[in-house]
Structure formats: C-alpha cells, structure tokens
C-alpha cells in the first residue's frame, strides 16, 4: 500500500493528538502529588486453523487507560477501558484512593521530567489491514497443499495494530504507533508419525513469506516420519534460529529475564547467574565465546521496538554482551540510582550478531550431531546456573558424517543457555524469528543459527 | 487484566449463597469469623442488570439476522486487585477493570468472533454482524462443518462462586499489614536475603446468552496469596515458595485460612536449610509425593492429555496433541494406572477454580470420571466435540468445558477441575512414609515440563526429604524426577484416604492461540511411586 493511501486510511488505535487529549483529560482530574497515565489503544485479529480447516477467527478492539497516582511515596495504579468522563473520573479516584491507603514505598522513584525519544516507524498498513478474508487466504495457502499431500496443517496468524502513550504532570509525553504480526504453522502426517514447524514474525506483514513458511513446515513433516531414538547424553547440536531464540529469550526478554536473567539487582544481591561469589556482579567478565555479541536497539529496522518503557524512560541502544564480555546488566530506575548507574530499563527486543557459516556448512562440518528445529515447554530448573529443561519438537534430525541422515525421536534437555554460549562452534546469519512457544507475536528477536558442542540431553520422548 | 473501585464501593456485595453456608466450607479461624460477622450487614447479592440482558438479546438477534445459524454472546466485567510486597515495604499495588462483550457466530458450519469494549446498542449490532461475517469468510474453507450437541434452554439462571468474605470488603491496610507481618517473620531467620509476598484477587461478572434460549448470569471470584523466601549463602542461593498455599475460588476467608504469618518462619528456615542440604545422588527411587506437589503432575499428565481437542489435533500448533489417540484405540482400553486410581473431572466442586454453574456456551456444570479403576474412560468436551466420540462413549451431552478468559477472548475447550480420588482405606501420609524403607518425599510444586503429547515429563519441587526405614531422615536438594506418563502412574502402589485429600491449583494455565489463561484446581491425596528416575539438577551435574 502506498504512503498516500495508508495516510488517508484511519489508523488503528489513537492518533498522537487523540492520545494527548485523552491523557490531558485524565491528568486534569488528578489531585495527587504526582500522576502518570499509560494508554494503549489497539485492534487485534487472528485466525487459527487445524486439520486443514479454520477453527476460530476473531477481531477485537480495546483501549485501556492506566492511572498511577502518588502521594509522597505512596503509589498505586488503576486501569479501565471506560473512556467517558465518568469512567475517567472513576479510575483517577480509584488510583488515588488506593494510593492514599497504601504504605510508603521507600523504593518509589519520582515521575520523570520530559524526555527526548527517537521516532520508530513501526506501524504498517500491510499488518493492520489483514482482515478475516485475507487471513483465511493465508491459511488456505498451507491447508490446500497439506490436504493434497495427505498431511494436516494447523496454524495461527495473529496481528495487533495501534498506539501506546505515556504522559505525566511534569509534561512528559511519549507516543508510539506499532503493528505486529506472527504466523506459525505445524504440519503433521495423517498417521501422526511426522511433524514439522515453521514460522515468522515482523511488524510488517509483507516481510513474512507465508508460502515459504508453508513449504518448510510441509517438508519437515514429511522428512520427520519414522523417527528412531538416539541415546541421550552430550551432543553436538545445530540449532535453527527459532531454537536459539527460544533459549536466549529466557535470559534477556520478558518476565524470566527480570527474575532470573539480566537483572542487575538480582546479580548484586547474590541471587543470579551474574552474581560474583564474593559479592557484586560479573560486568566486564568474559563469560561467553568471543563471537557472542548481544544488543538491544529499538531503532533496529528489523526490530522496530517501542523506544520507551512504561515510566516513559527512553530505551536506547544497549550492548549487553560484546565479544563474549558482559558489558551491561539491566538497571531499573531505583537500582540505577542506588548503584550510581544510568538506568537501562529492561529490553523488549534483542539482536544476537550472526556469523558467516551457512546451515549447510555447519552440517557438513559435523561428524555426528542433532539438528533442532525448535524447543518446547522450557522451564527454569536451577537459577544458579540458569539451568532450564525442555524438549525438541517438530523436526529433529540426526547428522552423520556431514549429512542429515534420518529423523530422530525428540529429546529432553537440561542445559543452561548461558553456559551453552561458551561452547560455540559456529554461527550463521542472523534472522528475525517467531520465538514465543504460544506462537503469538511475543518480543522481537533476531538470532543466528548456532552450532554448539556438548549440549546435554537427558532422556528420549516418543512424542511426535 | 482489570479491577474496580469507585463503582465497586457500591458493588461491595458480600456474596454469600445458601450453598456456601450449607456446603460446610473448611474449618474457619477465629478472626475470620469476627470479620464475617462485621461484614454481614452489607451482604448483598449481585443481580443481572436488565439493560445488559437486553443488549445480549440484541446481539443474538443481530447475528441471526446476519445469517448465523447459532450465536452466543458474553458480556463481562473483570476486576482484579494485585498487592505485592518486598521485605519491609510495598512493591506494587494495582487495580484493574475491564468491561466489554464478545459475540461468537456459527455460519455455514464455521465460527466467527468479534468483541468490543463499547457496550452500546449500535456497537452491539455492528460487532454481532461482524462475527457473522467472519464466520462466512471462514466457511469458504470448511471441510467438516461444526455440529453442536443439543442442550436444554436455561432462560433466566444465575450462579455465584460461594464466597464468605468479599476480598474487596477488606481494607487495603489490613491486606498489606498481613503481608508485611509474614515478611517480617521470614526476615527474622538468619540467612534470608529477600522475601516477597503477594495477594491477587479476581472477580468476574459474566452474562452468557445463546440463541438456544439460555441466559446465565454468574459471578466468579478467585483469591491467591503467595510468599517466596530467598536465602543467600556464600556463592549459593535457594528459594522456598509457599507452594502448600493454593489459589482458590473463595473469598478472603481463604487468605486467612492460609496462615501466612504463622507459616512464614518455617518457609524461611527451610530456604536456609536448603543451602546446606545434601545433594541428591541420581538414580532410581521410590517417591512419596505430597498432594501439594502431586496436583501439578496430575494437571500436566492427566488434565491436558484428556482434552479431546488436543487428542484430535486442534491444538497441534501450540499446546500439542495427546498420546490418548485415536479415541477408539484408547477409550475403555488404555490402562493408565493401577485399579486404585480413579480420576474425576468436576465443574461443581465448591472452592475449586474451574467450578461454575454453566459454561460459556450455556451447558450446565458436570462431574464425570476420566479414569475409572485405572482405565481411561472419557475426555473433556464442549458442544461441538460431543459428536466426535459419542459413538464410543454413549455420552450425548457436552461435559460443559467451554471457557473464555474474558469478554474479548473466544471460548474453547478448557480444563475442568481434575482430581485423583482418595482411596477407600483411611491411610495418611504418615502411614505411607512409615511403610517405605527408602525413598524421597517431595513437598510443593517446583519446575515442570512435559512434551507436546504428554509422554515424557520432568518435575522438581520445593523441599525434598530422604526417607530411611520408614522415617524422614534429612533434607535433600537439587532433586528432579523424569518419567513417562503411563509408566509413572502404573508404578503408583499406595494412595492416601479421604482424610489426606488436598486441593491445589493454578490461576494461569495457558492454552490456545491467542493464548488464554484458565484457572483450575486439582484435588489429590499423597501417593507412592516405585522406580522413578531422579536427576541431580545442581551445578556439579547437568
């Protein structure tokens, strides 16, 4: 769609002016010492299919206003999706009533002064206009060939488009428009003896090659038939980018990263992999192979992330790991102030720099190894080593003497993504992937395929 | 997503149903009685707003006029309150509220859905038409049309979670005070570094109407208290969570009954004790599993594989399929476990998270056996799934397992409460331990992972004890066990009796695309399992 016609079309969510006006209406009602309002207005739509037919599909629209009020260091937040005057009065009053009742929070940080933000063009009409009919055609692109070849396609196409705003009474105002879409597909054989997965995610739907996704999943389903078990133990593995992202997300993105991963506070308090045994954290230590470099940058054209967090703190280019050396941990505003550091915020997107080995070259250089498409049901086992368990799924193959020779049964791993990065053999080109187990849009992540030695599998699963 | 107040001040209904009072809720502590007595005068029961009913019926008419052969509508208000503390201070307080409606329409044998936050006449009509249009767009690619099992009409019915003390009737000061007191008890223990605790309350008012003539008004309430203690030693840290305190479909009486302040010191001592506990030697062990642990193993290895949509391939792209397939090969045939094993699905159990009066497509709550005398007997179903197995089970009704997380989510098959029934004999946990020469006793749920067909699993726990000659000999650490579902359940040789029954559960069971959460409880008794593979998950051995 051309820029002109996209501009002419009404965008999903609130415009900058609408968001600003709504924020001002809310803040004008505030009687607290400090107040902040977070607004998210969006449409979402999805289509699901299984057994070669569409099973559910739906669209919804919502706008949520969250008000955070503070009296001194007493703070509480309240949200609503009722935007008339009465609804806004109610939500402001509720947040203030709760804030007055809550005890002092010595760790509360004052609201930020106005900030400068980079602009990130993350909204694409290609995604926002993906209605039920167009989604059904994407599904049919997988269902029809699957049906012809006696296979069963199950997939999910999920999108959201809208805008996010943060404002406070200091005059801070942050606004960002975005769209996101993910397409994931699992193709199974009718006899249930083969299963293949492929997927893609982006802000811009036109960047996802849905025909290629279908082709990859179909091919893997067929090739994965007749899997035989191999003994568990320490294996050389070649992890496709989705599998790498499944593991690295745990350390750097989302809830688990805040609790177990790159939280500076957890490290400084002696309860993290990044803690030094004698106190403090491991910043400046070489923890990984020197080819490991990990960065977050909202303006990365393949990530296009929101350039601020819920406080309105600008999110900038941060280097977490460079040449295998830990350069940064994530500092929230309180802990940064306490430690005399700049707050980084917690990242919501990540890029791992790639290398120049192709997948074919990685396979050709492998005498005996396991090729992994993706992982599943990954759960923390031991935070001291960032040990996780989980299983391979939907395309696991044996490599012998430089060739993929046959399908193998799935394997359970007990492995640490952090320790794994010291056992790196080769890296391929980095690509954006869909890494969320649920196949949703998740956080944006770009990773290379990796070849790793001594990856620990502990048991076999006959699950297909 | 949501809670409410300004309006909720008027809405502080103190839901107390005849069922709750007569149902004989568990033992009630003294302060709880006092509070109940104080709160009683404000006791009021929520009622269905006639305007909501009118809009619900309008949505159904609009969907039908637009060509739907069937439609249902959910109009819902969800309120949540979340209080988090750390050490000696509050760490977060939020109150969320969301209101809106969703319409599901069937046309040409395919489903469509649309939802909006604007609960107004014009929008209701527009969204209902949109749902019907979605269905028609999807019907172009139908291969097997949806067929709904018949259900009686329930034109004006209601149901409410039996709650004795409305969580929203308790002051914030009292709630925070309780958490900070529990934290202080834990912090008193030397070696403790961080204590966090939280209270989470969820309340939903939901109206469901269907074109089959049903209109149901319900309120669903859930309460979840939690404490987590982390101890730090030299180069070592360990966490103990309050895993014996489950979430429940009860009111504030559940928080009081959890006795957080009285238990916090013990949890803290156990966190510290874990720092120096003996690392487990990997190998084959007899396991005695406490019900505070076993509920999660039941959830993963029985609850999920008995979902019929999974078994037939509808969840293949995310949650996975099931080893319980095809149905004609396993129903009445597959030996899941020993004869003493009976597993019941139940949407009527008082205080259990998945209990309800009617499901999200107007089917009355049901109770049935999934496993009878150790043999797989039936699946979980919704209306469209009945015909898939009725010829095998003879069951012509839906088991009532349709559920949507909120007004903006599409209802689909979700897990009812799934419970291991007690044995007939009066056997206690102590009896089972006394009868065990050597083994490991595991308390509390920990890490959990299972494959996409539910064969191979691995579970950790909160605390682990060595059993020697029928006695608890000392604490172990770094324990996890791996097994294959059917082998594991067939190795079960002793289970507790009715007195040892405990109900655990989860507020956040994920399934579906887009992902939705369901809250579900699992009752069970202590049980013993033979020859289970145990690993050491510590840093020495990976």
Q: Which residues of A touch B110 (CB under 8 A)?
A: 53-54
pLDDT score of B22: 28
The tokens of A40 are what? 């998210």
- Tally of CB atoms within 10 A around A106: 11
Alpha-carbon span A56 to A30, nearest angstrom:
42
CB–CB contact B93 A410 (8 Å) = no
CB–CB contact A103 B176 (8 Å) = yes
The tokens of A295 are what? 């960065």
Task: Tell me the pairing of strands A74-80 and B89-107.
Answer: parallel
User: Residue A169 in contact with residue A111, Cβ under 8 Å?
Assistant: yes
Task: Tell me the pairing of strands A325-326 and A195-202.
Answer: unpaired
Closest to B260 (Cα-Cα) out of B274, B242, B246, B248: B242
The tokens of A34 are what? 């400090």
The tokens of B396 are what? 């012509």
DSSP state string for A11-49? PSS--HHHHHHHHHHHHHT--SSEEEEEEEEEEEEEEEE
**CB of B28 within 8 Å of any CB in chain A?**
no
pLDDT score of B45: 62
Could you give the angle at which helices A132-148 and B121-139 cross, rounded to 10 degrees? 20
Tell me how far apart the terminal alpha carbons of chain B are, to the nearest angstrom: 39
The tokens of B144 are what? 């097997």
The tokens of A27 are what? 């803040």
Q: Which residues of B touch A73 (CB under 8 A)?
A: none
Cis peptide leading into B326, omega within 30 of 0? yes
Q: What is the dihedral of CA A231, A240, A199, A61, to 10 degrees?
A: 100
CB–CB contact B317 A186 (8 Å) = yes
Residue A201: strand, helix, or coil:
strand
User: Residue A265 in contact with residue A455, Cβ under 8 Å?
Assistant: no
What 8-state DSSP symbol labels residue A114? P
pLDDT score of B325: 96
Could you give the angle at which helices A210-223 and A132-148 cross, rounded to 10 degrees? 30
Residues of chain B numbered 177-236 and touching chain A (CB < 8 Å) = 180, 193-194, 230, 232, 234-236
The tokens of A253 are what? 């993105």
User: Residue A363 in contact with residue A193, Cβ under 8 Å?
Assistant: no
CB–CB contact A156 B114 (8 Å) = no
CATH class of A3-220: alpha beta
How close does chain A come to B301, measured CA to CA in Å?
13
Predicted TM-score (pTM) of this structure: 0.91
Alpha-carbon span A182 to A176, nearest angstrom:
20
User: Residue A282 in contact with residue A275, Cβ under 8 Å?
Assistant: yes
Secondary structure (H, E, C), B366-385: CEEEEEECCEECCCECCHHH
What 8-state DSSP symbol labels residue B422? P
**CB of A46 within 8 Å of any CB in chain B?**
yes
Alpha helices in A58-148 (DSSP H): 85-101, 125-128, 132-148
How close does chain B come to A21, measured CA to CA in Å?
20
Q: Which residues have a Cβ under 8 Å from the Cβ of A359 and sit 6 or more positions away?
A: A238, A240, A428, A449
CB–CB contact B456 A75 (8 Å) = no
Task: Tell me the pairing of strands A368-382 and B412-413.
Answer: unpaired
Closest to B256 (Cα-Cα) out of B195, B175, B168, B184: B175
- Tally of CB atoms within 10 A around A191: 9
Nearest to A46 among B91, B144, B513 (CB): B513
CB–CB contact A440 B478 (8 Å) = no
CB–CB contact B142 A378 (8 Å) = no
Q: Any idea which residue has 């505003």 for tokens? A: A333
> By 3-state DSSP, what share of chain A in percent is helix, strand and coil, each rounded to 5?
25, 40, 35
Output the CA–CA distances (angstroms, integers) from residue B27 to B254, B256, B295, in the order listed. 10, 11, 22
Output the CA–CA distances (angstroms, integers) from residue B500 to B251, B287, B291, B420, B463, in the order listed. 23, 17, 8, 12, 19
Residue A105: strand, helix, or coil:
coil
Closest to A291 (Cα-Cα) out of A240, A241, A355, A351: A355
Alpha-carbon span A375 to A394, nearest angstrom:
9
Alpha-carbon span A404 to A396, nearest angstrom:
10
Which helix (H) or strand (E) covers residue B511, if one does?
A: strand B502-511
pLDDT score of A422: 96
CB–CB contact A461 B455 (8 Å) = yes
ipTM: 0.91
What 8-state DSSP symbol labels residue A108? P
pLDDT score of B29: 32
Q: Where do the DSSP E strands lie in A316-449? A: 318-322, 325-326, 349-352, 368-382, 387-400, 403-407, 410-415, 424-427, 431-433, 444-447
**CB of A171 within 8 Å of any CB in chain B?**
no
The pLDDT tens digits of the residues spanning A30-85 come to 999 999 999 999 999 999 999 999 998 999 999 999 999 999 999 999 999 999 99
Strand partners, A457: A233, A413
Backbone torsions φ then ψ of B211, nearest 5 degrees: -75, 0
User: Residue A25 in contact with residue A86, Cβ under 8 Å?
Assistant: no
What 8-state DSSP symbol labels residue B499? G
Question: Chain B: residue nearest A389 by CA?
Answer: B449
Task: Tell me the pairing of strands B157-160 and B215-233.
Answer: parallel
Q: Where do the DSSP E strands lie in A269-352? A: 294-296, 318-322, 325-326, 349-352
Residues of chain A with pLDDT under 70: 1-9
Q: In what order do the strands lie in the sheet with A444-447?
A: A325-326, A318-322, A294-296, A349-352, A444-447, A431-433
The pLDDT tens digits of the residues spanning A250-277 come to 999 988 888 889 999 999 999 999 999 8
Give the rounded distance of the alpha carbon of A183 from its chain centre.
14
Q: Any idea which residue has 């009527």 for tokens? A: B348
Output the CA–CA distances (angstroms, integers) from residue A208 to A18, A183, A431, in the order listed. 31, 8, 12
> Is residue A409 packed enough to be buried (19+ CB in 10 Å), middle (13-18) or exposed (0-12)?
middle
How close does chain B come to A373, measured CA to CA in Å?
14
CB–CB contact A59 B539 (8 Å) = no
pLDDT score of A9: 61
pLDDT score of B37: 33
Residues of chain A numbered 202-261 and touching chain B (CB < 8 Å) = none
Question: Chain A: residue nearest B510 by CA?
Answer: A438
Which helix (H) or strand (E) covers residue B81, if one does?
A: strand B70-86
Alpha-carbon span B516 to B414, nearest angstrom:
10
Output the CA–CA distances (angstroms, integers) from residue B61 to B52, B72, B207, B209, in the order listed. 14, 10, 16, 11
Nearest to A77 among B2, B94, B98 (CB): B94
Residue B448: strand, helix, or coil:
strand
Question: Chain A: residue nearest B450 by CA?
Answer: A377
What 8-state DSSP symbol labels residue A414? E
**CB of A270 within 8 Å of any CB in chain B?**
yes
CB–CB contact B4 A61 (8 Å) = no
User: Residue B192 in contact with residue B200, Cβ under 8 Å?
Assistant: no
Question: Chain B: residue nearest A139 by CA?
Answer: B141
Q: Where exactly are the structural domains of chain A?
A: 3-220, 226-464
Q: Any idea which residue has 């003493």 for tokens? A: B340
Backbone torsions φ then ψ of B272, nearest 5 degrees: -70, -40
pLDDT score of B454: 96
Residues of chain B numbered 68-97 and touching chain A (CB < 8 Å) = 86, 89-91, 93-97
Cα angle at B500 between B495 and B505, to 5 degrees? 95
The tokens of B187 are what? 């912090």
Q: Which residues have a Cβ under 8 Å from the Cβ of B240 and sit 6 or more positions away?
A: B228, B229, B231, B267, B268, B270, B271, B274, B462, B463
DSSP state string for B166-180? -GGGS-HHHHHHHHH
The tokens of A68 are what? 């955070």
CB–CB contact A391 B533 (8 Å) = no
The tokens of B294 are what? 């076993």
pLDDT truncated to tens, each residue of chain B (542 aa)? 222 222 222 222 222 222 222 222 333 333 333 333 333 333 346 788 999 999 999 999 999 999 999 999 999 999 999 999 999 999 999 999 999 999 999 999 999 999 999 999 999 999 999 999 999 999 988 889 999 999 999 999 999 999 999 999 999 999 999 999 999 999 999 999 999 999 999 999 999 999 999 999 999 999 999 999 999 998 889 999 999 999 999 999 999 999 999 999 999 999 999 999 999 999 999 999 999 999 999 999 999 999 999 999 999 999 999 999 999 999 999 999 999 999 999 999 999 999 999 999 999 999 999 999 999 999 999 999 999 999 999 999 999 999 999 999 999 999 999 999 999 999 999 999 999 999 999 999 999 999 999 999 999 999 999 999 999 999 999 999 999 999 999 999 999 999 999 999 999 999 999 999 999 999 999 999 999 999 999 865 33
The greatest distance separating any two alpha carbons of chain A, rounded to the nearest whole angstrom, comes to 72
């Amino acid at each position: 769609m051309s820029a002109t016609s996209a501009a002419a079309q009404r965008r999903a969510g609130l415009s900058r002016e609408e968001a600003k006006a709504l924020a001002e209406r809310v803040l004008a009602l505030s009687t607290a010492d400090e107040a902040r309002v977070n607004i998210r207005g969006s449409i979402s739509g999805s289509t699901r299919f299984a057994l070669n037919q569409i099973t559910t599909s739906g669209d919804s629209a919502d706008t949520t206003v969250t008000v955070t009020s503070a009296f001194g260091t007493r703070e509480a937040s309240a949200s609503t999706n009722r935007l008339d005057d009465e609804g806004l009065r109610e939500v402001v009053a509720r947040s203030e009533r709760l804030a007055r009742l809550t005890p002092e929070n010595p760790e509360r940080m004052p609201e930020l002064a106005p900030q400068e933000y980079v602009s990130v063009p993350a909204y694409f009409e290609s995604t926002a206009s993906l209605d039920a009919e167009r989604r059904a055609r994407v599904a049919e692109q997988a269902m029809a060939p699957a049906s012809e070849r006696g296979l069963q396609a199950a997939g999910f196409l999920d999108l959201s488009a809208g805008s996010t705003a943060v404002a406070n009474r200091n005059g801070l105002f942050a606004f960002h428009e975005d769209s996101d879409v993910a397409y994931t597909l699992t193709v199974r054989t009718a006899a249930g003896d083969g299963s293949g997965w492929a997927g893609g995610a982006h802000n811009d739907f036109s960047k996802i090659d849905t025909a290629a996704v279908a082709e990859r999943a179909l091919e893997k389903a067929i090739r994965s038939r007749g899997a035989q078990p191999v003994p568990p133990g320490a294996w050389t593995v070649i992890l496709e980018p989705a599998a790498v992202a499944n593991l690295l997300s745990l350390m750097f993105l989302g809830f688990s990263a805040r609790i177990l991963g790159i939280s500076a506070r957890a490290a400084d308090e002696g309860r993290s992999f990044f803690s030094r045994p004698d106190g403090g954290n491991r910043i400046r230590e070489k923890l990984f192979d020197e080819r490991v470099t990990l960065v977050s940058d909202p303006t990365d054209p393949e990530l296009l992330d929101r350039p601020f967090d819920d406080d309105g703190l600008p999110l900038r280019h941060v280097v977490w790991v460079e040449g295998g050396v830990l350069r940064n941990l994530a500092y929230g505003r309180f802990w940064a102030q306490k430690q005399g550091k700049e707050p980084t915020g917690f990242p919501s997107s990540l890029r791992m720099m790639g290398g120049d080995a192709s997948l074919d070259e990685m396979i050709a250089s492998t005498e005996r190894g396991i090729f992994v498409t993706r992982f599943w049901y990954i759960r923390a086992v031991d935070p001291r080593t960032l040990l996780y368990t989980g299983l391979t799924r939907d395309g696991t193959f044996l490599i012998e003497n430089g060739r993929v020779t046959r399908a193998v049964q799935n394997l359970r791993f007990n492995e640490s993504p952090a320790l794994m990065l010291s056992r790196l053999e080769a890296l391929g080109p980095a690509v954006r992937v869909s890494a969320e187990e649920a196949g949703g849009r998740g956080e944006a992540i770009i990773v290379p395929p990796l070849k790793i030695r001594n990856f620990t599998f502990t048991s076999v699963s006959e699950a297909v | 997503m949501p809670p409410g107040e300004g309006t909720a001040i008027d809405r502080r209904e103190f839901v107390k149903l005849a069922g709750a009072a007569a149902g004989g809720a568990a033992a009630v502590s003294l302060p709880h009685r006092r509070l109940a007595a104080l709160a009683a005068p404000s006791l009021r029961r929520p009622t269905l707003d006639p305007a909501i009913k009118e809009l619900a019926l309008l949505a159904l008419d609009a969907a039908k006029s637009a060509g739907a052969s069937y439609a249902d509508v959910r109009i819902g208000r969800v309120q949540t309150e979340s209080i988090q503390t750390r050490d000696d201070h509050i760490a977060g307080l939020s109150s969320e509220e969301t209101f809106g409606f969703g319409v599901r329409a069937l046309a040409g044998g395919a489903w469509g859905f649309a939802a909006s936050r604007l609960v107004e006449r014009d929008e209701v009509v527009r969204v209902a038409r949109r749902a019907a249009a979605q269905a028609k767009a999807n019907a172009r690619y139908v291969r097997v049309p949806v067929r709904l099992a018949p259900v009686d009409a329930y034109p004006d019915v209601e149901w409410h979670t039996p709650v004795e003390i409305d969580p929203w009737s308790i002051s914030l000061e009292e709630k925070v005070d309780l958490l900070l007191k529990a934290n202080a008890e834990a912090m008193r223990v030397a070696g403790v570094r961080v204590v966090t605790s939280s209270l989470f309350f969820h309340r939903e008012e939901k109206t469901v109407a269907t074109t089959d003539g049903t209109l149901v008004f319900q309120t669903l309430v859930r309460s979840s208290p939690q404490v987590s203690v982390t101890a730090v030693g030299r180069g070592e840290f360990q966490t103990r969570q309050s895993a014996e305190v489950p979430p429940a479909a009860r009111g504030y009486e559940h928080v009081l009954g959890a006795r957080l302040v009285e238990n916090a010191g013990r949890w803290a001592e156990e966190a510290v004790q874990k720092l120096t506990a003996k690392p487990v030697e990997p190998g084959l062990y007899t396991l005695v599993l406490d019900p505070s642990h076993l509920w999660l193993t039941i959830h993963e290895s029985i609850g999920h594989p008995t979902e019929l949509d999974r078994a037939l391939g509808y969840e293949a792209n995310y949650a996975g399929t099931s080893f319980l397939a095809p149905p004609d090969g396993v129903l009445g045939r597959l030996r899941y476990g020993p004869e003493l094993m009976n597993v019941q699905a139940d949407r009527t159990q008082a205080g259990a998270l998945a209990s309800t009066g009617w499901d999200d497509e107007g089917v009355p709550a049901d109770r049935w056996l999934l496993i009878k005398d150790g043999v797989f007997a039936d699946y979980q179903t919704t209306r469209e799934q009945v015909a898939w197995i009725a010829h095998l089970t003879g069951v012509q009704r839906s088991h009532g397992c349709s559920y949507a997380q909120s007004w903006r989510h599409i209802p689909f098959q979700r897990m009812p409460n799934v419970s291991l029934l007690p044995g007939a004999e009066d056997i206690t946990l102590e009896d089972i331990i006394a009868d065990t020469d050597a083994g490991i006793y595991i308390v509390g749920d920990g890490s959990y992972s299972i494959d996409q067909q539910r064969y191979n699993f691995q579970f950790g726990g909160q605390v682990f004890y060595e059993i020697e000659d029928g006695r608890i000999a000392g604490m172990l650490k770094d324990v996890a066990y791996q097994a294959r579902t059917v082998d594991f359940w067939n190795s079960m040789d002793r289970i507790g009796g009715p007195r040892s029954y405990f109900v655990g559960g989860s507020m956040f069971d994920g399934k579906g695309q887009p992902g939705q959460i369901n809250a579900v409880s699992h009752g069970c008794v202590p049980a013993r399992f033979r020859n289970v593979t145990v690993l050491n998950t510590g840093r020495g051995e990976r």
